[in-house]
Amino acid sequence: MRSASASLLAAVLMLAVELHAAPAPMALPSPSTSGSSQILDDPTFGPIPAKSSYYTSNNSTSRPFPGNYSQPVFPTSNGTAGVDDLLFQNLLGAEWAIYSFYQFGVETFNQSVFEEAGYPPHTYQRIIEIRDNEAGHARIFEEQISNASTKPAPCKYQYGITSPVAYLAAHTVVEISSMSFLTGLILQAQLNSSKAALVAIAETESRHEAWGLIDIWQQSPFAGPADTVFPYANEILDTTKVFIVPGSCPAGNPDYPVPSQKLPSLSYKEKSTTLLPGSPLTFAFSDPTNQPSFEAGKTYYAVYFHGLLSITEPFDTKTNASIIPPEFEARGLFLAVISDKPGAPTIDSVKAGPLIITEQPVEVNSGIM
């Protein structure tokens, strides 16, 4: 097995794409329709999470339920939408991208590919099991949306990954990012039952992350006493739109996410930093069609989140230079945004980002593999 001290979400995955992608990115086909999607409005239809072993041991390479339905489930009631319907619509939109990422892995790779790359013989089986878990998450989120609101269906997605190394690096970032936006969504939830469901799903994502850290990267699974809470979860969800094939979402799907700030995406100049606490960092705005507009004479800040803390550092609008807070422990996840106020106290104060920085192992960010 290789010694894997190496290996968003979107910014890190885009780096993996640049280093490992084929000339044309690979796109997953749309899921095949298995009859009318309206049947999904019945919570007793299909395997039921926590009752059925389907979402842990399906083991098929075919698309599992409910990902084999390609159309949204439209409202069957004229009543008032549930107070957390929008939250779970957004979350289901993100889940389809994550579930599809694992289905992409199941369809693209096989056991021998991972073994030949030096990974444990059970790696491919674990990817299948995680895919099954994610299908269960999709079903749980569908069930949390009332019949007065639309339940979104999958779009088509492209990930641009062709090597098992890049894929497993992306897995690490996907899981730790999921943990962060799930805890952030708890701040939006109004019902205690919704908050409990979000915690339960985040706990499962942490198991996925721990497996990768131990078996794939030979790292400690522990990231200190608390994982990172990011208060503006929709900003992370927004970064997942980079994987959606334009025009591929089914007619009738709600917008995703809502609300969307459409912030400039944030990356960094690779040679400018080690990404460790105390290191200089030069930010980059990776989308040429969506660049920030900084007001002359106004002060802007780089705000970093880690654990339950946020620390504000200077940001130079001429050079895009900042520094990663030296106070942070080099474990888990850092998130950074550009704000016009210290601490980024409100969502409107965020002007770009977030940038996702994985500290375990830090090499996944640079894609040096």
For the chain, the first-to-last Cα distance in angstroms comes to 15
Same domain, 190 and 296: no
Q: Give residue 363's pLDDT.
A: 85
Same domain, 216 and 304: no
Same domain, 74 and 152: yes
pLDDT above 70: percentage of residues in the chain: 89
pLDDT band at 35 (very low <50, low <70, confident <90, very high): low
Is residue 258 included in any domain, yes or no?
no
What is the average per-residue pLDDT within 136-163?
97
Same domain, 237 and 274: no
**Could you tell me which residue, 20 or 265, shows the higher pLDDT?**
265
Same domain, 283 and 150: no
State the total domains in the chain.
2
Same domain, 233 and 281: no
Same domain, 183 and 325: no
DSSP secondary structure string, 179-209?
HHHHHHHHTT--SHHHHHHHHHHHHHHHHHH
Is residue 68 included in any domain, yes or no?
yes
What is the average per-residue pLDDT within 251-267?
97
Is residue 29 included in any domain, yes or no?
yes
- Token pair, residue 21, equals 């992608």
Single-letter amino acid code for the residue at 59: N
Q: Which of 361, 356, 366 is nearest to 6 (CA)?
A: 361
Is residue 220 included in any domain, yes or no?
yes
Q: Which of 241, 67, 254, 243 is nearest to 151 (CA)?
A: 254
- Token pair, residue 80, equals 């008032």
Count CB-CB contacts under 10 A for residue 196.
12
Q: Judge whether residue 2 has pLDDT over 70.
A: no
Which tens digits make up the pLDDT trace of 290-339?
Answer: 999 999 999 999 999 999 999 999 999 999 999 999 999 999 999 999 99
Structure letter (DSSP) for residue 29? P
Q: Is the dihedral of CA 151, 244, 368, 312 positive or negative?
A: negative
Same domain, 164 and 224: yes
- CATH assignment at residue 274: 2.60.40
Last residue of a domain, which of 243, 276, 293? 243
Same domain, 315 and 360: yes
Nearest-angstrom CA–CA distance, 282 and 271: 9
Contact predicate 336/273, CB 8 Å: no
Is residue 252 included in any domain, yes or no?
no
Name every residue whose Cβ is closer than 8 Å to that of residue 282 and which is 6 or more positions away in sequence.
Answer: 268, 269, 272, 273, 319, 320, 321, 322
Contact predicate 66/38, CB 8 Å: no
Contact predicate 354/336, CB 8 Å: yes
| Domain interval for residue 302 | 267-365
Same domain, 81 and 195: yes
Last residue of a domain, which of 209, 243, 277? 243
Last residue of a domain, which of 194, 210, 243? 243
Q: Which of 363, 365, 366 is nearest to 2 (CA)?
A: 363
Q: Judge whether residue 9 has pLDDT over 60.
A: no
Same domain, 63 and 155: yes
Is residue 257 included in any domain, yes or no?
no
DSSP secondary structure string, 292-338?
--PPTT---EEEEEETTEEEEEE--TTT-EEE--TTS-SSSEEEEEE
Is residue 96 included in any domain, yes or no?
yes
pLDDT band at 201 (very low <50, low <70, confident <90, very high): very high
- Token pair, residue 155, equals 């779009």
Nearest-angstrom CA–CA distance, 159 and 171: 12
Is residue 62 included in any domain, yes or no?
yes
Same domain, 318 and 188: no
Q: Give residue 11's pLDDT.
A: 43
